[in-house]
Amino acid sequence: MNIDPKIEKYIIAHTEPEDELLKELDRMTNLKILRPRMLSGHLQGEILKMISYMIKPKKILEIGTFTGYSAICLAKGLNQNGKLYTIDKNDEIADFTKSIFEKFQLNDKIFFCVGDAMNIIPEIDEKFDLVFIDADKREYLDYYKLIFDKVNKGGFIIADNVLWDGKVIEKVDKNDKQTQGLLAFNDFIQNDNRVENVMFPIRDGLMIMRKK
Query: What number is the average pLDDT over the span 165-173?
Result: 89
- What are the structural domains, with CATH classification, of the chain? 5-211 (3.40.50.150)
Q: What is the pTM of this model?
A: 0.95
pLDDT tens for each residue of 1-36: 677 889 989 999 999 999 999 999 999 999 999 889
Mean pLDDT score of the chain: 95
SS in 3 state form for the chain? CCCCHHHHHHHHHCCCCCCHHHHHHHHHHHHHCCCHHHCCHHHHHHHHHHHHHHHCCCEEEEECCCCCHHHHHHHCCCCCCCEEEEEECCCCCHHHHHHHHHHCCCCCCEEEEECCHHHHHHHCCCCEEEEEECCCHHHHHHHHHHHHHHEEEEEEEEEECCCHHHHHHCCCCCCCHHHHHHHHHHHHHHCCCCEEEEEECCCCCEEEEEEC
Predicted local distance difference test score (pLDDT) of residue 37: 86
